[in-house]
Amino acid sequence: MKPMFFVDAAVGSGKTRAMIASIVQDDSQRNYLIASRTIQLLKQTAGDLRAALAQAGSTRSVVEVHTGNTSSGEGGVRAAALSAVNTRTGRQGVIVLVTTATCLELVPNIKSKCNWALVMDEAFEPVEFSKYTPGDNPERRRVEADYLASVFDIDESTGTLTVRAGMLEQVERIAAGSAGDYLLGLKAVAALVRRPSSRVSVVAPSDIQALKDNASSLSREIGLAAVTPPDEFRDFDEVIFLAALFEDTMLAILWTRVYCVDFQRHEGIVSKLNPDRNTHVTQARNLYFGYLLHPEDRATRTNLEKHFETGEDSAAPGYRVIDWCVRAVEKFFEDIQVGRGTRDEPWLLQMNGRYTDKHSPEGAPWRLIPAVAHGLNSFQDSHDIAALAVTNLSTPQLRWLRDLIPGLGSDDAMRAQRMPTIYQAVGRCSLRDMTSDEANFVVVLGKDDAEYLHRTFAGSTLLGQINGADGKPLRRLTVPPRQSKPAWVSARVQEFFAGLPASTVSVQKRELNAHLKACEAEDRASVTPQLASPLTSSDISRGIAAALSLGVGWHQPGGRAYRYERC
Which residue has better confidence, 391 or 467?
A: 391
Determine what percent of the chain is predicted with pLDDT higher than 70: 92
Check pLDDT > 70 for residue 468.
no
Burial 48-74 (b: 16+ CB within 10 A, else e): ebbebbeeeeeebebbbbbeeebeeee
Q: Are 43 and 98 in contact (CB under 8 A)?
A: no
- The answer to which of 44-58, 140-154, 409-423 has the lowest mean pLDDT is 140-154
The DSSP annotation for 406-455 comes to TT--HHHHHHHHHHHHHHHHHTTSGGG-TT----EEEEES-HHHHHHHHH
168 and 253 together in one domain: no
List the CATH number of the domain containing 492: 1.10.10
SS3 string, 198-256, reads: CEEEECCHHHHHHHHCCCCCCCCCEEEEEECCCHHHCCCCEEEEECCCHHHCHHHHHHH
pLDDT per residue over 200-231, tens digit each? 998 888 888 777 776 666 677 788 999 999 99
189 and 45 together in one domain: no
Arithmetic mean of pLDDT, 438-442: 91
Its domain, for residue 246, covers 4-126+232-275
107 and 194 together in one domain: no
Boundary residue ending a domain (227, 257, 288): 227
How many domains does the chain fold into? 4
Boundary residue ending a domain (430, 450, 477): 477
66 and 16 together in one domain: yes
**What pLDDT does residue 480 have?**
56
Instruction: Name the pLDDT band for 360 (thresholds 50, 70, 90).
Output: low
pLDDT per residue over 316-351, tens digit each? 888 888 988 998 998 888 888 888 877 767 899 999
176 and 285 together in one domain: no
Arithmetic mean of pLDDT, 450-471: 84
**What pLDDT does residue 19 have?**
95
User: Distance between CA atoms of 240 and 269, rounded to whole angstroms?
Assistant: 10
Strand order in the sheet with 385-387: 366-369, 347-350, 385-387, 440-444, 287-291, 461-465
Arithmetic mean of pLDDT, 494-510: 85
146 and 13 together in one domain: no
451 and 507 together in one domain: no
Boundary residue ending a domain (444, 477, 510): 477
HSE value, Cβ hemisphere, 13 Å, CA-based, for 372: 15
pLDDT per residue over 42-78, tens digit each? 999 999 999 999 999 988 999 999 987 776 666 688 8
250 and 290 together in one domain: no
